[in-house]
Structure 1
């Protein structure tokens, strides 16, 4: 298994407060995309971080060795529509409850 902390970087610091109608729709699709990966067991947890300097998203991935994290996150609707990008940070291991 491979493990990653992925940080979704929005296109601007005030993104959550200034989203357009299209961006709001893409964010709903983004949430559904991440929830589907959670159901498949590829994501352990995900959610928004309310940083006073600008919010962002975090997700913890646990994927099989034959999968590439960049290929997965590039399919996120918010990224496919050009509204931000991901940083990928490999982890040595991941321990979780349950």
Structure 2
């Protein structure tokens, strides 16, 4: 297994308060996409982070060795529509509550 902390970086610091109608729709699709990965067991947790310099999203991935985290995050609807990007941080392991 491989483990990653993935940070979704929006296109601007005030993104959450200034989203266009299209961006709002893509964010809904983004949430559905991450929830689907959660159901499939590829994500352990995900959610928004409120930061005084601008919010961002965090997701924790637990994927098999043959899967590519960059490929998974590139399929996120918000990324596919050119709004923001992901940063990927490799984790040595991930311990979760059972």
The bucket for the TM-score relative to the shorter chain is over 0.9
For residues 48 and 77 of structure 1, the distance between their equivalents in structure 2, rounded to whole angstroms, comes to: 16
Pair 1:10 & 2:10 matched: yes
1:17-56 correspondence to structure 2 within 5 Å: 17-56=17-56
CA-based RMSD of the aligned residues comes to 0.2
- Structure 2 residue matching 1:53: 3-state secondary structure: coil
- Give 2:82's aligned residue: 82
- Once the two structures are superposed, residues 4-47 of structure 1 have per-residue CA deviations (whole angstroms, 9 ceiling, x without a partner) of 00000000000000000000000000000000000000000000
Which structure 2 segments of 5+ residues have no match?
none
- Give 2:71's aligned residue: 71
For residues 86 and 57 of structure 1, the distance between their equivalents in structure 2, rounded to whole angstroms, comes to: 9
- Structure 1 residue matching 2:62: 3-state secondary structure: strand
